[in-house]
């Protein structure tokens, strides 16, 4: 997640594709941590960075400067080797880079009104997408090669989005998700589902990508709030849970796998009712971790791991346990253990918390 210039000590934060590592960019450089134990694996003091994106657990990191030093232009993408400490390639653009995404086959670069799709091995441009003005670099990307989709805003006046299949290099569909413009969105790791929130921040919606149909709607709250991040749990089919962080400082946990007392939107009634009306019928069935972070502080949360608990007699999934990692842009890392049951029981505990800016590197750890 790239951040616009601000007073936060952390300018950007990201997890790699399997959430085993996470990185932060500061005004001094960038740092990479092991998600499992919180150890600082790598740091480089080169100047301010707005974007730091990793490719799984490889030595390849995509970095973009914040423009505070002449050598770190926000219009230059550097593919950096953390092992050698050298730049492998640099790509220059006419305007500032707002987001970068990668998997083992594709490199995606977002500008304000254009998106470039590259072959990550040859760095050949495969496609160029003209987009509506996207000043915040809003996008979603699924790293799975079988369901490799890129989602981009389709409008600046309403919450519609375009889904591209970046392996086949073609438009898949358009989804009208909200009445207000989009603020954030995320694709599940397998590319099956996309979750979205608008600038109003009261509703979270989940659509099935293959059919471009709405599967779930959740009411986060009645009052507007800025949704900072959305994250699905890792999954092979339907994600068990979805989490959202917002400017209220709370973390909202939405169960998907159980769908307890949750009606899927759609059907005949949904087809003849306006979204504003049918959403009023969607139950506010979710759990809240209150005051997880200070109100107003930007945060980024990821479900790192989900363990399913089955009934020994019936093999039915009766509970799931999830590990939730949160990065706050004022410089802290938190990890919560969440537990949800098919009886709508919920518990959570704070497992660890530490300052990302004062951590000391372990010289025995290398990427």
Query: Could you give the percent of the chain with pLDDT greater than 70?
Result: 88
| Edge-to-edge strand ranges of the sheet holding 86-92 | 49-54, 60-65, 76-81, 86-92
- Is residue 27 within 8 A of residue 18, CB to CB? The reply is no
| pLDDT reported for residue 257 | 73
User: What are 302-326's pLDDT values in tens digits?
Assistant: 999 998 888 777 777 788 899 999 9
- Is residue 201 within 8 A of residue 246, CB to CB? The reply is yes
User: What are 232-248's pLDDT values in tens digits?
Assistant: 987 766 678 999 999 99
Torsion angle defined by CA atoms of residues 259, 293, 203 and 114, in that order, rounded to the nearest 10 degrees: -110
User: What are 192-206's pLDDT values in tens digits?
Assistant: 999 999 999 999 999
| pLDDT reported for residue 263 | 44
| pLDDT reported for residue 134 | 97
User: What are 138-195's pLDDT values in tens digits?
Assistant: 999 999 999 999 999 999 999 999 999 999 999 999 999 999 999 999 999 999 999 9
Residue 270, SS3? helix
C-alpha radius of gyration, the chain, whole number = 20
pTM for the model: 0.90
| pLDDT reported for residue 316 | 77
For the chain, which domains are there?
A: 10-262+277-355 (2.130.10.10)
């Amino acid at each position: 997640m790239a951040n616009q210039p601000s007073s936060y000590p952390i300018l950007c934060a990201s997890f790699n594709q399997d959430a085993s590592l996470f990185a932060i960019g500061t005004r001094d450089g960038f740092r990479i941590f092991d998600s499992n134990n919180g150890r600082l694996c790598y740091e480089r003091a080169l100047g301010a960075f707005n974007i730091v994106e990793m490719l799984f657990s490889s030595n390849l990191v995509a970095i973009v400067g914040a423009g505070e030093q002449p050598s770190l232009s926000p219009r230059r993408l550097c593919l950096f080797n953390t092992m050698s400490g050298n730049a492998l390639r640099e790509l220059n653009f006419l305007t500032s880079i707002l987001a970068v995404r990668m998997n083992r086959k594709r490199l995606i670069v977002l500008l304000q009104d254009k998106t470039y799709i590259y072959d990550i091995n040859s760095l050949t441009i495969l496609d160029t997408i003209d987009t509506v003005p996207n000043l915040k670099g809003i996008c979603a990307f699924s790293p799975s090669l079988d369901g490799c989709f890129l989602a981009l805003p389709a409008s600046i006046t309403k919450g519609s989005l375009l889904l591209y299949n970046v392996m086949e290099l073609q438009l898949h569909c358009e989804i009208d998700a909200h009445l207000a413009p989009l603020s954030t969105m995320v694709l599940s790791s397998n590319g099956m589902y996309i979750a979205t929130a608008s600038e109003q921040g009261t509703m979270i919606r989940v659509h099935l990508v293959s059919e471009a149909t709405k599967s779930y709607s959740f009411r986060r709250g009645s009052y507007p709030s800025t949704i900072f991040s959305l994250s699905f749990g890792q999954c092979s089919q339907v994600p068990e849970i979805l989490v959202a962080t917002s400017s209220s400082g709370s973390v909202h946990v939405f169960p998907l796998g159980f769908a307890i007392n949750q009606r899927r939107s759609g059907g005949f009634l949904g087809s003849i009712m306006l979204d504003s009306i049918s959403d009023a019928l969607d139950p506010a069935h979710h759990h809240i971790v209150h005051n997880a972070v200070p109100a107003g502080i930007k945060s980024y949360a990821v479900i790192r791991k989900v363990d399913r608990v089955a009934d020994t007699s019936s093999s039915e999934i009766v509970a799931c346990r999830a590990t939730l990692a949160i990065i706050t842009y004022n410089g802290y890392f938190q990890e919560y253990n969440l537990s949800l049951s098919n009886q709508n029981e919920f518990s959570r505990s704070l497992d660890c918390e530490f300052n990302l800016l004062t951590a000391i590197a372990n010289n025995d750890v290398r990427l």
